[in-house]
Amino acid sequence: MKLASNTYKAWIDTPLGIAALVLLTAIVAYLVAANQMMLALSVAAAPLGVAFVLAVLGNPYFGFYALFFYTFIMFMPGRLLRADLPIGIGAEFLTVLVLMSALLRKKVQQQKIEGFLRQPVSIMLIIYSAYLLIEFFNPNMRSMAGLVFYYRKVLAFLLVYYIAYLLLDDLQKIVRFFKFWLIMSVLAGLYACKQQWFDFFPFEMRWLMSDPHKVRLYYQGGMFRKMSFLSDPAASGILLGYTAVIALVLSQFKPFAAYKQKLYFATIALLLGAIYSGTRTSYIVFAIGVVIYILMNFQRKRTLIFTGVSIFALAFILFGPINNAPINRVRTLMNGTNDASLKVRDENRELIRPYMLSHPMGGGLATNGVEGERFNPGHELAGFPTDSGYLKFALEAGWIGLIILCLLYFVMMQQCIHHYYQARNPTIKALYCAMAAALFAQIVAHYGQIAIGQMPGILFFFAIMAIIGRLKQFDDPSIAWEVEE
C-alpha cells in the first residue's frame, strides 16, 4: 500500500492531478447525459483500476487474496447485467500482476528455486506441463486458437501454484489462507441458503428465465438448484462439499478446539449450501472425505465416536421422516446403478472407448464438448458429452496423458498422507489430514463429473498442491499457530 500512497502524493495531490480529476468528472457527466452508461462506468472506474494495480504491486498478499475473492464473485456482474462478460481475462491479468508483485519482494528473491523444483508435486507438474507442450504437435487438432485458449488457462494455474509456494512461506500464513477460504466458502453457502429460503433476487430470476435450456438444467426434482454466487450449481455444490470436509476435519483436532463451534457452524452452512445445489456429486464428495478422515484416524477414540454419529446422521437423512425436495434429491443416491443419468454416462463411455484406445495422444486439446464446438467445429469429439473429468482429459490428451494426470494425483495424495503420519506439530498434522480428505474426495468425484477445473475451486486446488510441499518445512512441535498470532 506504500507504493499507492506515494503515487497519490506524487501525482494526484497536485494541481495537475486535481485538474485531471475535474476533467474526468466532466467526461463522465457528459456520457451519463448522453445515455452511455457502460462507457461512463468504464471511464469512472479507470482511476480505481490504476489505484488497485498500484496496491497489488505494493503488496502481493493483497493481490493474492484479491484474486481469490474475484474468482468467487466474478459471475455476479454477468447475471446482474445479463451479459456475457470476459471475466476469465480479469483473473489471468490479476494472476500475472500478483506474480510480478511477489517477485519484487526481497524476501521472495532470496528463496532458492532449487527447493521448489525438488518438490515431488513440482516434478510431476513439470512432467504434466511438458506433455501438454508435446500436444502442440498432435495432428488431430485443427485449431491454433483452441490451443492458445487451453495453454493460457494451464499457465495461469501453474502461476497460482508458484505464487502460493512463494507467498505462503510460514505456518501462520498458511492457516490464514485456510481461514480466508473457509470464510468465503461459508458466505457462498449462506447465500445459497438465502436463495433456498427467500428465493432468488429478481435479477437472478431474470437471468435464469432468459434461457430455456438453463431452466431445464436448474429445475430438477421439484426445486430450482441453487448456484450461490458461483458459476453454476455443480461447481457450487462440489466446492461447498469438500470445504465442509475441511471444516469438519479441522474441528476434530486439538489445535482448533477453540474454534470448534465456529467450524461446526461452517460445516452446517456449507452442507446446506451443497444440498440446495442439488448436485449429487457434492454429497458423494462429503461422504468420501469423511470416510478418508475416519480411515486415517481410526485408532483414536474420538474417531470411533465421530463414526457412530456420522452413521446415525446419514441413516436419519436417508430414512428419516422428512419429505422435501432437497432431501429427496439426496435420497436419489440410493438408486445406484439404476439411475437414468448414470446409465447414459456409461453408454457414452462405451461408445467413445474405441476412439480413446486408438488415439494414445488423444484428439487434441480443446477439441471436446463445448470447447470443441467453439474452437474445433466438425471434429469427431466436438460436442461429445463427457461428464467425467478423466474421460474428457483422456479424449483430448490420450491415455498417455491420463496416466500422467493420475500419477500427479497419486503423488499429491501420497505426499499428504506420508507427511500426515510423519508430522510432529499438531496444527500441521490437522492441515495435512484436512487436505488429504478434501483432495481425495475431489479426485474420486472427478470420475463422475468435472469436479476439478472450475473457478474458484481450481485455484484452491493448485494452492493446496503448493502447501503440500511447503507445510512440512515448518514442522516444529514446539510451535503452534495460536502462539504465533
Q: What is the 3-state secondary structure (H, E, C) of 389-404?
A: HHHHHHHHHHHHHHHH
Q: Final residue of a domain: which of 13, 34, 58?
A: 58
Q: What is the pLDDT of residue 3?
A: 47
Q: Are residues 330 and 404 in the same domain?
A: yes
Q: What is the pLDDT of residue 424?
A: 92
Q: Are residues 173 and 278 in the same domain?
A: yes
How many domains are contained in the chain? 2
Sign of CA dihedral 395, 401, 403, 409: negative
Q: Is residue 383 part of a domain?
A: yes
Q: What is the pLDDT of residue 348?
A: 81
Q: What is the pLDDT of residue 263?
A: 97
Q: Are residues 159 and 19 in the same domain?
A: no
Label residue 378 by pLDDT band (50, 70, 90). Answer: confident
User: CB–CB of 393/450 below 8 Å?
Assistant: no
Q: Final residue of a domain: which of 30, 58, 86?
A: 58
Has residue 432 got a pLDDT over 80?
Answer: yes
Give the residue numbers spanning the domain of 194.
114-484
Q: Are residues 120 and 50 in the same domain?
A: no
Q: Is residue 183 part of a domain?
A: yes
Label residue 126 by pLDDT band (50, 70, 90). Answer: very high
Q: Is residue 93 part of a domain?
A: no
Neighbours of 3 (CB within 10 A): 16
Q: Is residue 64 part of a domain?
A: no
Strands 223-224, 219-220: parallel, antiparallel or unpaired by DSSP? antiparallel
Q: Are residues 45 and 147 in the same domain?
A: no
Q: How far is CA 197 from the centre of its chain?
A: 26
* pLDDT tens-digit series, residues 251-271: 999 999 999 999 999 999 999
Q: Are residues 41 and 187 in the same domain?
A: no
Taking the model in full, what pTM does it have? 0.90
* pLDDT tens-digit series, residues 129-176: 999 999 999 988 878 888 999 999 999 999 999 999 999 989 999 999
Q: What is the pLDDT of residue 438?
A: 97
